[in-house]
């Protein structure tokens, strides 16, 4: 259609959305498809939001976001990872990590700049790079390397047009994460080739083994990393739409130029809720992480015993089992599973070609639901023989 821009015609609708249109309105479906917590936002956070409305907080905020929130984020990053950001000019409150990703790409990418993206990876990265006028260059990570991009694989994709690399650990959809020593090797490459690292650490707090290393805390990386994080996953606040971007003042200033004209600011009520979440949620966060970990153990054991070989995820709330033994493409497997057993999972190819032969099963559902899902899966693969 002539009214649609070439740029938008060049991107496709999310594979997840396409798949879930099939699910809408059908009863008795169990879904391991949705990438969001089943927990409701803890009550004290909701209450803080209600109270902020009662006090009449209904205005715009600074374009940068509520200062108190930025100060709390700076405190947390210093306390958790020893990384320093100035709340005035180096931290921008965004409408989710989604907006942060869009802003950093639009603020930094020129036509024909290349952005390296390890896959399987989060569905938004490629389209966002294309919308910013750049060229996504993907790396196919492998299960035998725990779905991590190696320094050799990254180096082999670097050309004179490479501008940035997007990292996401713990990872959606595989649950893989990276150790400090592995990240240091990537940092060395970034320094050598003067690359910007866009580090999406939205699942950092959902790390079950080892400790999370913040990319910008690595030697020499603070100035060429844009750190993206937010409230959606760890605090069960997906609908509130609060994220934050931290980094080099000049890049942030330029991201801000776009943000102030397109978004203006994130909603004040959600920012007030985020203040409460960062101040007082240690307990609720711990409880949710403990429960996700129990579910992780249950589903990994269950999938492996059914014959769906499952890499053990180290963070986030996804498993990414292989269906290599069943001679079906991941879309066909997922569609038949949905029709025959009313169980929804996401076909791995929604996350890039490297995801073909896998499924994404989220364990952000109760253990009861997980057990029922595993029974349905077992029945289904039993029929496949
Ligand atoms: C890796 C990753 N980044 C970003 C997002 C979007 O986060 P937000 O809700 O903060 O926009 C998601 C949501 O699923 C995600 O999995």
| Interatomic CA distance for residues 226 and 215, integer angstroms | 9
344-349 mean pLDDT? 96
Which tens digits make up the pLDDT trace of 164-182? 999 999 999 999 999 999 9
Q: Is residue 63 part of a domain?
A: yes
Instruction: Give residue 244 CA to ligand 1 midpoint distance, Å.
Output: 12
Q: What is the CA radius of gyration of the chain?
A: 21
Where does a domain end: 235, 264, 279? Answer: 279
Which tens digits make up the pLDDT trace of 83-114? 999 999 999 999 999 999 999 999 999 999 99
Pocket test for ligand 1, best of 202, 273, 350 (most atoms within 8 A of CB): 202
Has residue 185 got a pLDDT over 70?
A: yes
Domain count along the chain: 2
Residue 289's pLDDT is 96
Q: What is the residue range of 343's domain?
A: 6-41+283-384
Has residue 34 got a pLDDT over 90?
A: no
- Range of lowest pLDDT (24-28, 302-306, 338-342, 349-353): 24-28
| Interatomic CA distance for residues 232 and 98, integer angstroms | 11
Q: What are phi and psi of 223, to 5 degrees?
A: -85, -20
Torsion on CA atoms 152, 157, 163, 165, rounded to nearest 10? -60
Has residue 8 got a pLDDT over 80?
A: yes
Residue 271, classified by CB atoms within 10 Å of its CB into exposed (0-12), middle (13-18) or buried (19+), is buried
| End-to-end Cα spacing for the chain | 46
Instruction: Measure the CA angle with vertex 99, ends 256 and 287; round to 5°.
Output: 120
Residue 262's pLDDT is 97
Instruction: Give residue 4 CA to ligand 1 midpoint distance, Å.
Output: 26
137-149 mean pLDDT? 96
Residue 15's pLDDT is 64
Pocket test for ligand 1, best of 16, 35, 233 (most atoms within 8 A of CB): 233
Has residue 17 got a pLDDT over 90?
A: no
Residue found by looking up tokens 């076909």 in the block: 347
Q: Give the CATH number, domain containing residue 321.
A: 3.90.1150.10
In ligand 1, which atom is closest to the CA atom of 122?
1
| Interatomic CA distance for residues 173 and 348, integer angstroms | 8
| CB-based pocket (< 6 A), ligand 1 | 35, 96-98, 122, 168, 172, 200, 202, 230, 232, 238, 243
Nearest to 375 by CA among 333, 343, 328, 334: 343
Has residue 39 got a pLDDT over 70?
A: yes
Instruction: Give residue 271 CA to ligand 1 midpoint distance, Å.
Output: 17
In ligand 1, which atom is closest to the CA atom of 230?
10
Residue found by looking up tokens 């060429």 in the block: 224
> 226 and 84, same structural domain?
yes
| Interatomic CA distance for residues 265 and 267, integer angstroms | 6
CA 298 to chain centre: 23
> 338 and 306, same structural domain?
yes
> 192 and 107, same structural domain?
yes
Q: Give the CATH number, domain containing residue 72.
A: 3.40.640.10
Has residue 11 got a pLDDT over 90?
A: no
């Amino acid at each position: 259609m002539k009214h649609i821009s070439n740029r938008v015609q060049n991107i496709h609708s999310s594979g997840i959305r396409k798949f879930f249109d099939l699910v809408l309105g059908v009863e008795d479906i169990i879904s391991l498809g949705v990438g969001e917590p089943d927990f409701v936002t803890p009550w004290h956070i909701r209450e803080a939001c209600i109270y902020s409305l009662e006090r009449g907080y209904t205005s715009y905020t600074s374009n940068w976001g509520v200062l108190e929130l930025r100060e709390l984020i700076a405190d947390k990053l210093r306390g958790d990872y020893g990384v320093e950001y100035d709340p005035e000019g180096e931290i921008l409150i965004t409408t989710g990590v989604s907006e942060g990703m869009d802003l950093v790409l639009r603020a930094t990418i020129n036509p024909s700049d290349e952005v390296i993206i390890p896959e399987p990876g989060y569905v938004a990265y490629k389209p966002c790079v294309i919308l910013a006028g750049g060229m996504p260059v993907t790396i196919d990570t492998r299960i035998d390397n725990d779905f991590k991009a190696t320094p050799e694989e990254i180096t082999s994709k670097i050309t004179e047009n490479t501008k940035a690399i997007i990292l996401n650990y713990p990872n959606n959809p595989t649950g893989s994460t990276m150790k400090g020593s592995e990240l240091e090797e990537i940092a060395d490459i970034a320094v050598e080739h003067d690359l910007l690292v866009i580090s999406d650490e939205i699942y950092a707090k959902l790390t079950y083994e080892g400790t999370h290393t913040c990319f910008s805390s690595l030697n020499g990386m603070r100035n060429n990393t844009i750190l993206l994080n937010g409230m959606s996953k760890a605090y069960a606040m997906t609908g509130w739409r609060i994220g934050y971007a931290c980094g080099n003042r000049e890049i942030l200033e330029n991201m801000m130029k776009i943000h102030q004209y397109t978004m203006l600011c994130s909603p004040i009520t959600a920012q007030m809720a985020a203040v409460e979440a960062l101040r007082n949620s240690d307990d609720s966060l711990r409880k949710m992480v403990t429960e996700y970990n129990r579910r992780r153990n249950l589903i990994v054991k269950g999938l492996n015993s059914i014959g769906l070989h499952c890499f053990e995820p180290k963070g986030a709330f996804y498993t990414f089992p292989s269906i290599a033994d069943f001679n079906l493409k991941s879309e066909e497997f997922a569609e038949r599973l949905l029709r025959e057993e009313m169980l929804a999972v996401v076909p791995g190819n929604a996350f890039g070609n490297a995801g073909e032969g896998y499924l994404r099963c989220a364990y952000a559902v109760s253990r009861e639901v997980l057990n029922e899902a595993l029974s349905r899966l077992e029945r289904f693969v039993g029929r496949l023989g």
